[in-house]
Amino acid sequence: MLPILFFLYHAVVIIALSVVIITRRNPVHSVLWMLVLFFHIASLYLFLNAEFLAAVQIILYAGAILVLFLFVIMMLNIKHELNADICIGEWPIGVAIGLSVMTLVILGIGKFSHGPMGQASIEAVKAETHTKALGRVLYMDYLFPFEIASIILLIAIVGAIVLAKKEKASGG
Amino acid sequence: MVPLSWYIGLSAIVFVIGMIGFIVRRNIIIMLMSIELMLNSVNISLVAFSHYLQDFRGQVFVIFIITVAAAEAAIGLAILVALFKNKSAVHTDEIMEMKG
């Protein structure tokens, strides 16, 4: 009974916060509500025995990405934003598309049947600790994708610097 | 024990909310945040699959998704900064140079 209550609390809060995030007029409010949302998602990860990912979620999303968003919002003109329309004129079409996709997915959930189980049972993970077991899979079986991910990060760093750099005056 | 389908349902609902936010909002910052919302909803379902199928592959995927999300946020915000410097507009319907 308690796990179900725990899940229902988090599900209701996560859905409500998502709606709040996409309807706020002030982007700063959206970012701050998103912080609360990320903490709830991290606690859902803890509930699913993924404690390493819960830590990564808080450090990376709440610590790094949201701060990046806040920095960029500071550079923009919020006063103009507070008086403008928040939605495009055709918003009922967007909502209709979203609701139809949701109907499709919800109808499809019942047809799901899972494949063979893996080896990472709760006892095996508990004996080895979660971070070590995850690192073993990441660095043994997924080493090549891991290297590709590092190249993606490198390209993102270079690209962000090139895009946001000041234009040099011609001839200077 | 919470059934797996509840997690998939939660993930689907949050994904659709993010999708609606991406389609209907005019502000590019909110659109980028909607993308983060969608990526997070997928992460929830991958971690749930990983727990219920007792396999670590789902969680490895979540690590890759977080990497790509960080790269995407950095690039997207850099594009936004460049756009704001050139046109001082953050609304998508005010940017229509490429309309045919």
pLDDT value of position A172: 41
pLDDT tens string A155-172: 999 999 888 887 665 544
CB contact under 8 A, B52 and A114: yes
> Which residues of chain B lie closer than 8 angstroms to A72, CB-CB?
29, 77, 80-81
Largest CA distance in chain A: 72
Residue A147: pLDDT band (50, 70, 90) is very high
B1 interfacial to chain A (CB closer than 8 Å): yes
A22, B21 contact by CB (below 8 A):
yes
> What value of ipTM does the predicted structure carry?
0.91
pLDDT tens digit string along B12-28?
A: 999 999 999 999 988 88
A117 in reach of chain B (CB within 8 A): yes
Chain B residues within an 8 Å CB radius of A18 = 14, 17-18, 37
Indicate the pTM of the whole model: 0.90
For residue A99, give the amino acid letter: L
CA of A170, closest CA in chain B: separation in Å? 17
* Nearest 10 degrees: Cα torsion B23, B25, B28, B31: -50
- Cβ–Cβ gap B24/A95 under 8 Å: yes
Q: Do B82 and A4 touch (CB under 8 A)?
A: no
Please choose, from the candidates B35, B20, B42, the residue with its C-alpha nearest in 3D space to the C-alpha of residue A19: B20
Which has the closest alpha carbon to B61: A37, A140, A146, A151? A146
pLDDT-derived band at A113, boundaries 50, 70, 90: confident
Structural domains present in chain A? 1-83 (1.20.120.1200)
Element containing residue B39 per DSSP (H, E): helix B28-52
Q: Mean pLDDT across the stretch B32-45?
A: 94
Structure tokens at A128: 């080895």
CB B43 within 8 Å of CB A105:
no
**Separation CA A29–CA A166 (nearest Å):** 29
Angle of helix A27-47 versus helix B28-52 axis, rounded to 10: 0
